[in-house]
Amino acid sequence: MERPIAYDKLAREDRFVRMRARDVADLKIAQGLPPFPDLSSRESIKERVHGIMVGELQAMEGAGRSVCDFPEAPWEFTLDMARQVWDESRHVEIYLRLLEHLDGFAGEFPETTILWRCACAEDAAARVAGVNRGLEGLACDVFNQLVHIARKIGDPVLERAVEFVLADEITHVRMGSKWLTRLTEGDPERRRRAVEFQETIDERFNLGGVRREGEHDLVPISIATDVRRLAGFTEEEIERLIKTTQRSQVY
Amino acid sequence: MPHPLEGPFAVEHSARLLRNYRYVVERALRAAGGWIALTPELSAKLLLGRHVWDLAQHADAFGRRLPELRATAHQGEPANAAVVAFMDAVEAPEAPHETVERLVGVYRVLKPHLLAVYSQHLARANAVYEPPTRQILARCIEDETRHVTAGETILRHLVRTPELEARAAARQRRLEPLLAAAGGVTGDVPPDAPGGTASPAVETSDDAREWIRLEKAVGAWPMPAGLADALRAFGGALGAGDAAAVARWLAPGTGWDIAGLGARAPRSSRIVAFARIGRQCVVKLALDGAGPTVTLQSRWVPGEAGWRAAALEILGRDPAPAVLPPR
């Protein structure tokens, strides 16, 4: 089998429209809309849920590639990645059903492949740092906020389902921390490159100032500091993330 | 009546069988994981995604049992070179249009065979001194039964034309002799050994019929007023090869020419994707004609004159487009 595959080989059914994240954001701004759905209405929650659904799809595909691409990694690494594939496949199903719950459908909004691109790192340590700590860390922020919003608007279906997904994501971050350490043991240069890769992803997923420290109702994506602590991020890492969001360019 | 301590397997033989299983299961696991990204159909993605973890646990259980049988932990071993060739053939189809070939290899050839081999092994393994192996086999049989049933459900959903049926059959005809030539995954299964059978009655939370339901395309796209009419007229203009009529549907400043479609005008167009960006809409049209199907992506904006296309892009020409049945 080809290992790893080029990022443009990601296969999709025709019904999905694929566009660059920047182009979608620009088209929305040109219409006087926020670049990312702000959870202020059921419609924007639906759009956020659609974005999460395609993100989960790409996370499943990325974890599947990690099972495939690194046969030389320790067996326990493959086991953890296989477990993540299973988790993400359930998440895809959960979010497809939540889309139905919100009267939406798969393909209703464009898919961007920014997450998938991050999952194409050639080094296993960089991939777990970027995907399991960078992207799944973002997922912790987004899902924690979505649980809060669902509770506030009185949607127990959304609240309960997303809370269970959040529990899985915390586990995935822990897996990422474990494998970042184990895979780079005795190789500080490899660790440095992997952490750098994660930081570029964190920076990218500050989404131009959309992710910030703040109350769930006041910022588009609030950093889930408590959940991040639970997932094993250090105080120093959380502090650094908050600082980077403060210097990110704002749309 | 046989003595309760009689058994056909020596410790070394039992370890060898587990190494053989572990080899093929690990390869199947890695292939299935890698295929998820290469497979377009959502139901097939979910099928593979659900089963990767089960396969990993099977390989792990075999691998952990090995040191208890005086062998090295987690060391798989092919029974012979022909098993390697068989697994190479199973994992070969990687193109997006080869989902049927991928699934037939795993769900109609490999897994039914594993089910048969595990069942035969369980039936023969001594109940007094091999319970650890028997427990592993029982779990694998339960999972493989479920997998084969789910795989067959998805295959029946995907294989819906005579051409696809022929491809599925050809794939099975190619792989089965390879497996027989290897003597099965353990190298010693006679060619006429009974195959595994999957119970069709297995009901679990991971129901393949639900994945198919979730995959089904929407029957009627929820379009804003006027857009469906505009798209119908635009498609008609494309079908007539009428450049002037096409141009009437373009927003000012949109540089696109029908000549981009090539010499042959499409006979018909159908909407295959509809997405919203704020008040604008992105529509994918599949243009069918004498040549390959052309996919045209267009972004439509509302204005005083009605809906107009502000951007158009030809995404590709597909000789065998995947068309999902309407809900």
Taking only the tens place, the pLDDT of each residue in A11-37 is 999 999 999 999 999 999 999 999 888
Domain boundary residue, one of B187, B215, B243: B215
Mean pLDDT confidence for A72-76: 97
CATH of the domain at A136: 1.20.1260.10
| Six token digits for residue A110 | 């464009």
Residue A131 lies in a domain: yes
Using a CB-CB cut-off of 8 Å, the residues of chain B touching A22 are: none
CATH of the domain at B108: 1.20.1260.10
Its domain, for residue B185, covers 11-215
Residue B249 lies in a domain: yes
Residue A50 lies in a domain: yes
B205 and B235 in a single domain? The answer is: no
pLDDT of residue B197: 53
pLDDT tier at B217 (50, 70, 90 boundaries)?
low
Percent of chain A with pLDDT over 90: 76
pLDDT of residue A14: 92
Mean pLDDT confidence for B69-75: 97
Using a CB-CB cut-off of 8 Å, the residues of chain B touching A109 are: 275-277
pLDDT > 90? residue B258: no
B175 and B63 in a single domain? The answer is: yes
pLDDT tier at A250 (50, 70, 90 boundaries)?
very low
pLDDT of residue B19: 98
Run of H or E including A221 = strand A221-222
- 8 Å CB contact of A75 and B286: no
Q: What is the Cα Rg of chain B in Å?
A: 26
- 8 Å CB contact of B280 and A107: no
pLDDT tens figures, B159-213: 999 999 999 999 999 999 999 999 999 999 876 666 655 544 444 456 888 888 8
B309 and B250 in a single domain? The answer is: yes
Q: Count structural domains, chain B.
A: 2
CATH of the domain at B282: 3.10.450.50
| Six token digits for residue B67 | 């040191």
Select from A61, A89, A108 the Cβ nearest to the Cβ of B50: A89
Backbone phi, psi, residue B223, to 5°: -90, 150
B62 and B202 in a single domain? The answer is: yes
pLDDT of residue B122: 96
* CA separation for the pair B21, B164 (Å, rounded): 31
pLDDT of residue B196: 55
Least confident of A48-57, A208-217, B105-114: A208-217
Q: Which residue has the higher pLDDT, B211 or A61?
A: A61
Prior bond to A156 cis, omega within 30? no
Nearest CA in chain B to A69: B34
The one-letter amino acid at B264: R
Run of H or E including A10 = none
Residue A234 lies in a domain: yes
- State the distance between the two ends of chain A, measured CA to CA, in whole angstroms: 42
Q: B30, B101, B103: best mutation site toward chain A, by most A Cβ within 10 Å? A: B30
Q: A86, A103, A175: best mutation site toward chain B, by most B Cβ within 10 Å? A: A86
pLDDT tens figures, B15-39: 999 999 999 999 999 999 999 999 9
Residue B33 lies in a domain: yes
pLDDT of residue B318: 67
Percent of chain A with pLDDT over 70: 98
Residue B78 lies in a domain: yes
- 8 Å CB contact of B42 and A68: no
Nearest CA in chain A to B75: A75
* CA separation for the pair B19, B75 (Å, rounded): 6
- 8 Å CB contact of B37 and A11: yes
Minimal C-alpha gap between A77 and chain B (Å): 11
Backbone phi, psi, residue A180, to 5°: -60, -45
Residue B220 lies in a domain: no
* CA separation for the pair A136, A130 (Å, rounded): 9
Least confident of A163-167, A224-228, B86-90: A224-228
* CA separation for the pair B128, B132 (Å, rounded): 10
Q: Which residue has the higher pLDDT, B158 or A39?
A: B158
Q: Which residue has the higher pLDDT, B296 or B326?
A: B296
- 8 Å CB contact of B74 and A67: no
Beta strands in B168-319 (DSSP E): 268-277, 280-288, 293-303, 306-318
Mean pLDDT confidence for B286-299: 88
- Give the HSE-up count for residue A192: Cα atoms under 13 Å, Cβ half-sphere: 4
B18 and B139 in a single domain? The answer is: yes
- 8 Å CB contact of A83 and B274: no
B137 and B238 in a single domain? The answer is: no
pLDDT of residue A192: 97
Residue B326 lies in a domain: no
pLDDT > 80? residue B301: yes
- 8 Å CB contact of B322 and A63: no
pLDDT tens figures, A128-159: 999 999 999 999 999 999 999 999 999 999 99
Minimal C-alpha gap between B130 and chain A (Å): 25
Mean pLDDT confidence for A228-239: 91
SS3 B183: coil
Least confident of B57-66, B94-103, B122-131, B184-193: B184-193
pLDDT of residue B291: 78
pLDDT of residue B323: 45
SS3 B297: strand
Select from A10, A15, A92 the Cβ nearest to the Cβ of B46: A92
The one-letter amino acid at A171: T
Using a CB-CB cut-off of 8 Å, the residues of chain A touching B22 are: none
Using a CB-CB cut-off of 8 Å, the residues of chain A touching B273 are: 14-17, 107
Give the Cβ contact number of residue B192 at 10 Å: 7
B205 and B288 in a single domain? The answer is: no
What average pLDDT is seen over chain B? 90
- 8 Å CB contact of A64 and B37: yes
Mean pLDDT confidence for B245-254: 94
- State the distance between the two ends of chain B, measured CA to CA, in whole angstroms: 59
- 8 Å CB contact of B34 and A85: no
Select from A14, A68, A89 the Cβ nearest to the Cβ of B295: A14
Residue A5 lies in a domain: no
B147 and B188 in a single domain? The answer is: yes
The one-letter amino acid at A41: S
Using a CB-CB cut-off of 8 Å, the residues of chain A touching B277 are: 24, 27-28, 31, 109-110
Using a CB-CB cut-off of 8 Å, the residues of chain B touching A1 are: 30-31, 34, 91, 94
Nearest CA in chain A to B279: A31
pLDDT of residue B203: 42
Residue A4 lies in a domain: no
Select from A2, A81, A108 the Cβ nearest to the Cβ of B276: A108
Closest CA to B120 of B12, B178, B172, B192: B192
pLDDT > 80? residue B218: no
pLDDT > 70? residue B269: yes
pLDDT > 70? residue B326: no
Q: Count structural domains, chain A.
A: 1
Backbone phi, psi, residue B141, to 5°: -65, -45
pLDDT of residue B191: 65
pLDDT of residue A182: 97
Using a CB-CB cut-off of 8 Å, the residues of chain B touching A11 are: 37-40, 96
B239 and B195 in a single domain? The answer is: no
Closest CA to B117 of B41, B188, B60: B188
Its domain, for residue A180, covers 15-247
B287 and B197 in a single domain? The answer is: no
Residue A114 lies in a domain: yes
pLDDT of residue B195: 61
B21 and B103 in a single domain? The answer is: yes
Residue A180 lies in a domain: yes
Residue A8 lies in a domain: no
pLDDT of residue B264: 65
Q: Across the strands, what pairs with B293?
A: B318
B32 and B57 in a single domain? The answer is: yes
Size of interface A-B (CB pairs under 8 A): 152
ipTM: 0.95
Least confident of A85-89, A119-123, B82-86: A119-123
- 8 Å CB contact of B52 and A86: yes
* CA separation for the pair B76, B253 (Å, rounded): 63
Mean pLDDT confidence for A176-204: 95
- 8 Å CB contact of B275 and A61: no
Q: How far is CA B133 from CA A47, A126, B125, B212, in A?
A: 49, 38, 8, 36
pLDDT of residue B23: 98
Domain boundary residue, one of B177, B195, B215: B215
Q: B35, B52, B157, B324: best mutation site toward chain A, by most A Cβ within 10 Å? A: B52
Nearest CA in chain A to B74: A75
Residue B5 lies in a domain: no
